[in-house]
Amino acid sequence: MIAEIIMNSSVRNLDKTFDYSIPFDMEDKIHIGSRVLVKFGNIKELKEGFVVNIKDKSDFEVKDISKVEEKDFIDEAKVNLAKWMSKRYFCNVSECIKLMLPPGTGTNNLENRAKEKTARFIRLAKSIDEIEFDIESKKIKSDKHIRALRMLDKISEIPSKEFEEIADVSSAVLKTLEKNGYIEFYENAVERNPFLHKVVASTNNLKLTDEQQSAFTAVENALDDMMNSEFLLFGVTGSGKTEVYLQLIEKVLEMGKTSVMLVPEISLTPQTVDRFIARFGQEKIAVLHSKLSVGERYDQWYKIKNGEAKIVIGARSAMFAPINDLGIIIIDEEHDSSYKSETTPRYNVKDVARYLAKEYSVPIVFGSATPDMDTYYKAQNGDIELLELTKRANEASLPDINIVDMRRELANGNRSSISMRLFEYIKQNLKDKKQTILFLNRRGYSTFVMCRNCGYVAKCKHCNIALTYHSKENRLRCHYCGYEEIPFKSCPECDSGSIKYSGSGTQKLEEEVNKMFPEASTIRMDVDTVTKKNSHEDIINRFKDENIDILIGTQMVVKGHHFPNVTLVGVIFADGSLNIDDYRAHERTFQILTQVAGRAGREKEKGNVFIQTYNPDNLAIEFSKQQDYKRFYDTEIKIRKALKYPPFCDIILIGFSSENEKNVIESAKQMYMCLKDKIISEKLPIILYKPVPAPIDRIKNKYRWRLIVKCKFDDKINDAIYECLKDLESKNIRDVKTIIDVNPSNMM
Ligand code: ADP
Ligand code: ZN
Ligand code: ZN
């Protein structure tokens, strides 16, 4: 038999199969998805590859496979998914396969791979009857020995260290018992369990409201009929979406199948996971996300593979977990940009979910208060069934939202970051012992350092981007590459000493707040304060448990947290996301503002939200005041249609980067010409734009150019772009990295 093998490599030229013959003694160990070691070219050491097909004979003279990995492989269905992804996302099959392997095992280097953790276990080496006989006949005399042996009889498997503790015996005692032939030591796997010692009070199903019930029933019917249908559960924050998910998962459990629930990475907090543990117990749950150690993730992966875990909760990569009886896919906060990968493979997990849902004939539930324009458009067209929850489940009312025109504040002589009205409300909130969240999506102290005399702006040496001033470390810092320098006292260009620091970040806001409200306790949450393993959690917990008055933070504060005592939310500068160079600027702004507003008044007390802006008439801001997604959607969709943006077409970004500017431009031009020829000769319905520098045209010393293609992305266009990519490679323009991103979530 012959195996077709793809090498574990991201070199584009190696994205093809190589034939190897399967030695007789490996025949039942090798199947599609196996990891094997082979001799490759003239390379001395063996190289790893993945078996992607098995056939009877080869047209070539072939070498034998040298070795096969008996663990850590994937199945044929996953190989097929990898092949599909590789074509659609323009990357190597092996790069996609790596997403599907046990965490920590993707590397070619066997030494560095995650593996099972083992420990020394003990068990009885004789039957308990024989032991009792020896006790009777005084062959065993010591009370300690007797107690230990009788206790061990009652426990089936235990690491010896653990036994020493609970039986209160020394390792010397165990050694003696081993020497006398009563017990034996052996190596066994131990699970690294991230939930160990976790105690969560269990909860029962709540009685669903009418709206929840009809949403539940719609999906339940699809489950019963094994329909591969899609649903959008559209409901404001607090409308009880999670309760619907919980009850659907219960239903899937009853069917004996496994549920996948995706949540944005940042909201994968212990609180989120706890709600699931509280309902289902931790034995059935596996969690996959980047905050777990590699070892923990490895064990969680095997917990799924072995069929122990029936509920998989995780960030986007959890979609690749080794599930063999998939029952439902739930994607919560489906509009979140973390569902799109920004590194190779640049996949959108919703596409992958759709592929798998079809394969297994299971439903997908997308949930959001502010659905992605594309998802809602599909719901309008009937491709997705719309399920609405219009009210908050616990009777809490939605907050009052006030727009504050900051131009007027300036005119009235208020130069601080906080408007007069917000100031008054914070004061009152402090008196009432209620909590406040202030949201500002810019970190650091000043985001802009400029010479008043000549207009010189401090920019990164390696990136074409302004440096941000960080006051605590007294450094100017690049948020793209981490470059730092000491702030200058006089302008490097004109020597003037008049340097202006403008654009407040969270550091400066915290300082201002501390000056304005010296009596208030504050805590800050942004990339600079969230550094250690758990400190995102720590900050959230401290804010909640210590009843800290004011939480100041970036986007991190907006996702999914439930703070019962927060009644006031201030958005300090709503315009940040409006000014980005992206067709989704309005959508992002509306989403963020709605989410932040959703943090206020989630219990009995009514919440207040202040949105401070220099563009009070902007659509996204106006509609977020009314919390009216549908009106926002109706307006925005018209703009998208007129300008031919998604969902009316796909955007394919072809990016080129290199330290060599000439080669970057040359590559972009070659690609452009190739595509242009194809459009003409194959009559492709594509709008192709001329190559231009990217909005940030240099990052980490690499020049960046790009091409944009607008089209309905289909197989024909997929092939055409692939051919041009191959054509470009054959030109051998050196040191240029080419990436192709289908509907990128970041246009910079
Ligand atoms: P969402 O996921 O839409 O933000 P949740 O499911 O977290 O909403 O529900 C918000 C709050 O309402 C929670 O405290 C939840 O326990 C409560 N809740 C949800 N459904 C019901 C129900 N049917 N009856 C009573 N309380 C409910
Ligand atoms: Zn100057
Ligand atoms: Zn930089």
Q: Is 256 in the same domain as 352? A: yes
* 301 vs 581: CA distance, rounded Å: 39
Q: Say which CATH number the domain at 688 has.
A: 3.30.70.600
Burial of 274 (0-12, 13-18, 19+ CB in 10 A): middle
Please identify which residue in the block is written with the tokens 């045209």: 697
Query: What average pLDDT does this structure show over 711-733?
Result: 93
What confidence score (pLDDT) does residue 496 get?
Answer: 92
Question: By the 8 A CB rule, do 482 and 444 touch?
Answer: no
**Which secondary structure element, helix H or strand E, spans residue 447, and what is its range?**
strand 446-451
What confidence score (pLDDT) does residue 534 get?
Answer: 57
Query: Quick check: is 324 in a domain?
Result: yes
* 36 vs 47: CA distance, rounded Å: 8
Pick the residue whose CA is nearest to atom 9 on ligand 1: 240
Query: Quick check: is 747 in a domain?
Result: no
Q: What is the mean pLDDT of the chain?
A: 90
* 3 vs 32: CA distance, rounded Å: 8
Share of the chain above pLDDT 90, in %: 62
Under the banding of pLDDT at 50, 70 and 90, the label for residue 71 is confident
Report pLDDT digits (tens) over 575-628.
Answer: 877 777 788 889 999 998 988 887 877 667 788 999 999 989 988 899 988 888
Question: By the 8 A CB rule, do 348 and 339 touch?
Answer: yes
* 507 vs 739: CA distance, rounded Å: 35
Residue type, 321: A
Residue 54 has pLDDT above 90, yes or no: yes
- Structural domain span for residue 618: 400-445+504-639
Total of domains in the chain: 6
Share of the chain above pLDDT 70, in %: 98
How far does the centroid of ligand 3 lie from the alpha carbon of residue 481, in Å?
Answer: 4
For the four alpha carbons of 130, 134, 140 and 143, in that order, the dihedral sign comes to positive
Query: Quick check: is 106 in a domain?
Result: no
pTM for the predicted model, two decimal places: 0.87
Domain termination site, one of 586, 620, 639: 639
Residue 558 has pLDDT above 90, yes or no: no
For 498, residues 6+ apart whose C-beta sits below 8 A from its C-beta are 451, 452, 453, 491
Q: Is 350 in the same domain as 435? A: no
What confidence score (pLDDT) does residue 564 get?
Answer: 85
For 317, residues 6+ apart whose C-beta sits below 8 A from its C-beta are 99, 288, 289
Question: By the 8 A CB rule, do 738 and 641 touch?
Answer: no
Residue type, 745: S
Q: Is 498 in the same domain as 510? A: no
Query: What average pLDDT does this structure show over 436-440?
Result: 94
Report pLDDT digits (tens) over 450-470.
Answer: 998 888 989 998 988 889 999
Cα–Cα nearest to 487, from 443, 530, 441, 444: 444
What confidence score (pLDDT) does residue 349 get?
Answer: 97
Nearest ligand atom owner, CA of 499: 2
Classified as helix, coil or strand, 643 is: helix
Q: Residue 396 gets which letter from DSSP?
A: P
Backbone angles phi, psi at 445, to 5 degrees: -100, -70
Highest mean pLDDT pick, 189-198, 557-566, 609-618: 609-618
How far does the centroid of ligand 1 lie from the alpha carbon of residue 603, in Å?
Answer: 11
Under the banding of pLDDT at 50, 70 and 90, the label for residue 81 is very high
Q: Which of 268-277, 480-489, 656-665 has the lowest mean pLDDT?
A: 268-277
Question: By the 8 A CB rule, do 321 and 304 touch?
Answer: yes
Q: Say which CATH number the domain at 562 has.
A: 3.40.50.300
How far does the centroid of ligand 2 lie from the alpha carbon of residue 490, in Å?
Answer: 8
> Which comes out higher in pLDDT, residue 367 or 528?
367
Q: Is 182 in the same domain as 214? A: no
Report pLDDT digits (tens) over 89-98.
Answer: 999 999 999 9
Question: By the 8 A CB rule, do 349 and 331 touch?
Answer: yes
> Which comes out higher in pLDDT, residue 167 or 552?
552
Atom of ligand 1 nearest to the CA of 598: 4
**Residue whose CB lies within 8 A of the most ligand 1 atoms, among 243, 248, 279, 629, for a mutation test:** 243
What confidence score (pLDDT) does residue 230 get?
Answer: 98
Report pLDDT digits (tens) over 244-300.
Answer: 999 999 999 999 999 999 999 877 777 788 899 999 998 999 999 887 888 889 999
Residue 675 has pLDDT above 60, yes or no: yes
Query: Quick check: is 112 in a domain?
Result: no
* 739 vs 151: CA distance, rounded Å: 62
Query: Quick check: is 349 in a domain?
Result: yes
Nearest ligand atom owner, CA of 456: 2
For the four alpha carbons of 585, 586, 589 and 595, in that order, the dihedral sign comes to negative
Query: Quick check: is 36 in a domain?
Result: yes
Report pLDDT digits (tens) over 289-337.
Answer: 887 888 889 999 999 999 999 999 999 999 999 998 999 999 999 999 9
Q: Give the pair of three-digit tokens for residue 384.
A: 């997705």
Nearest ligand atom owner, CA of 451: 2
Q: Is 441 in the same domain as 510? A: yes
Q: Is 518 in the same domain as 624? A: yes
Q: Give the pair of three-digit tokens for residue 523.
A: 């805590």
Q: Is 684 in the same domain as 706? A: yes
Per-residue CA distances from 618 to 405, 578, 592 (Å)? 11, 9, 15
Query: What average pLDDT does this structure show over 180-207?
Result: 82
Cα–Cα nearest to 569, from 598, 603, 540: 598
Query: What average pLDDT does this structure show over 76-91?
Result: 95
Ligand 1: which residues within 6 Å by Cβ?
206-209, 212, 235, 237-243, 393-394
Query: Quick check: is 140 in a domain?
Result: yes
Report pLDDT digits (tens) over 22-50.
Answer: 999 999 999 999 999 999 988 888 999 99
Q: Is 157 in the same domain as 266? A: no
Domain termination site, one of 479, 502, 525: 502
